[in-house]
Amino acid sequence: MAAGPVRQDDLRREPMLPPGFSLVTLRESGDAFAHAQAIAAEAGAATLVWVRRFDIVEFAVVLEPDAILAEARLAHYLAMNALADALAVHSPPERPVLFRWPDALTYDLGLIGGGRLGWPADCPENQVPDWLVFGAMVRATTMSPFQLGQTGVGMAEEGFEEVDAVDLIESFCRHLMLGVSHWQEEGAKAAARRWLDRLEKVVGVRHGIEPNGDLIATSQFGTERRGLVEALAKADWLDRDSGAPKL
């Protein structure tokens, strides 16, 4: 088994978060995404929930949008950009960090993690939600040698030297703040364009993001529209039995 990227002091130290952020930590059996949604209304924006796991970097952050729900979901692309940027900062050089529609994160074409977006179940599409929650997972280690048919990868096995969960979370928060600043200056479309730059490309297909977050794929055979809400509900990258990215 390859040595994990998690330093011995990793789970004993806490992330140094930017001003305005607050940290909530859970034990290894916790669920950051679910817990963040449960406390979002009370805890407020920039609350970050972190599960102290050795095998998975798992966290979630509360956002407070100022747009109606149908438009606010574009924050998913903003947060996915921050997650990819955080991973890319620490990755070995010249290895691509890319997206698969709409929420999977790949490293060198292997599935390494993903993101989820949650919102109040009773919020209509044309109203501003009280909160959004973005949940992220990145596999720190596969915990086993590579097996035939395996499509998932881990940071330890891919050469992320001396990188731990705290490093990744701190980097994510910095990139998220930078992304929010760009959003305020340039609008949501800029975040969507940045996400498209990292989308795994299909030869002969052009992609675009609609104002409600849906993906448009255009080729010589016509145009296909893929709904963001339906795709987010599936979270195809997540193995719900193990609570980790699929291997």
CA 84 to centroid of chain Cα atoms: 8
Contact 158, 3 (CB under 8 A): no
Rounded Cα–Cα distance for residues 213 and 239 (Å): 24
The residues, any chain, with a CB within 8 Å of residue 66's CB and separated by 6 or more, are 72, 128
Q: Report how far apart, in Å, the C-alpha atoms of 196 and of each of 102, 168, 217 are.
A: 10, 22, 11
**Which pairing describes strands 110-118 and 104-107: parallel, antiparallel, or unpaired?**
antiparallel
Percent pLDDT > 90 in the chain is 79
In this prediction, residue 8 carries a pLDDT of 45
Tokens of 38: 């449960």
Beta bridge partners of 59: 50, 136
Q: Which amino acid is at 189?
A: K
Across 21-55, b (16+ Cβ under 10 Å) vs e yields beebebeeebbbbebbbebbeebeebbbbbbbbeb
Dihedral Cα 2, 246, 35, 140, nearest 10 deg: 20
Q: What is the pLDDT of residues 102-151, one digit of tens each?
A: 999 999 989 999 999 999 999 999 999 999 999 999 999 987 666 666 78
Tokens of 155: 């940071």
Considering only the C-alpha atoms of the chain, give the largest distance between any 2 of them, rounded to a whole number of Å.
55
Is the pLDDT at 2 greater than 60? The verdict is no
Q: What is the pLDDT of residues 188-206, one digit of tens each?
A: 999 999 999 999 988 999 9
In this prediction, residue 13 carries a pLDDT of 82
Average pLDDT in the 6-21 region? 74
**SS3 readout for 107-144:** ECCEEEEEEEEECCCCCCCCCCCCCEEEEEEEECCCCC
In this prediction, residue 10 carries a pLDDT of 53
Contact 154, 140 (CB under 8 A): yes
The three-point CA angle 215-34-194 to 5° equals: 30
Q: Report how far apart, in Å, the C-alpha atoms of 144 and of each of 45, 137, 156 are.
A: 38, 18, 11
